[in-house]
Amino acid sequence: MTSNFRVAGASTLARASLNVKHGQEYLPMLPKSKTMKLNILSLLILLALAGCNQMRPPVEPQSDPYLGKQIYLDSYQLKSDTAFGTPTRSRDPFGIMHVVVPVRSIIDKTLYVQYRVYFIDRNQNKVGEIGWTDKTLTANIPDQIEFNSSNAAAEDFQLHLRYPPGY
């Protein structure tokens, strides 16, 4: 019995195996590393093009939940070494603000601190300043920090305390 089927030669089978794999044709057959690089490059180009036309929202600052305080300390050590009372404010007939802040050293040690004061108006603009001033707090003895604004525009104040540099 003779067969009508033609048997393919080795070179024909080799060419067919390059272009067909598991029933799928590849046009043209590239080595896997080149195909992978081509796919990654195509993906990167598409991502870059997709991101170019999008309008991004502006970067907005986060709100500070600690605004509006009057007394600021520069360290936790100073916080644990001192205690403050409620500041009292008054004005003289010329509109100058006078402030008294009760403070004391709550440890058995005399403290040497420095303070500065910013005076601010109703729009939170700085309208005056007292530079760094030395203050000695005797151990466990109530004391106070007193200061005056330099003009009548001051509506509030910020008192900053720190240990002297190198203390």
Find the CATH number of the domain harbouring 135.
2.60.40.3230
Cβ-in-10-Å burial (0-12, 13-18, 19+) of 119 comes to: buried
37 or 125: whose pLDDT is higher? 125
Domain assignment of residue 62, yes or no: no
Per residue in 133-143, pLDDT (tens digit) is 999 999 999 99
- pLDDT of 88 strictly over 70: yes
Angstrom distances, CA of residue 104 to CA of 87, 127, 142, 143: 13, 28, 5, 6
Domain count, the chain: 2
Per residue in 110-121, pLDDT (tens digit) is 999 999 999 999
The answer to whether residues 95 and 18 belong to one domain is no
- pLDDT of 78 strictly over 70: yes
The answer to whether residues 79 and 151 belong to one domain is yes
Domain assignment of residue 143, yes or no: yes
152 and 128 Cβ atoms separated by less than 8 Å: no
Domain assignment of residue 5, yes or no: no
Determine the pLDDT at residue 16: 47
The answer to whether residues 152 and 79 belong to one domain is yes
The answer to whether residues 75 and 34 belong to one domain is no
Determine the pLDDT at residue 133: 97
Residue 130 amino acid letter: I
Bridge-based pairing state of the strands 156-162 and 71-73: parallel
Per residue in 10-59, pLDDT (tens digit) is 444 444 445 545 555 555 555 567 787 888 888 777 766 666 666 777 77
pTM of the model: 0.61
Nearest to 167 by CA among 75, 57, 102: 75
Determine the pLDDT at residue 66: 65
Domain region containing 23:
10-52
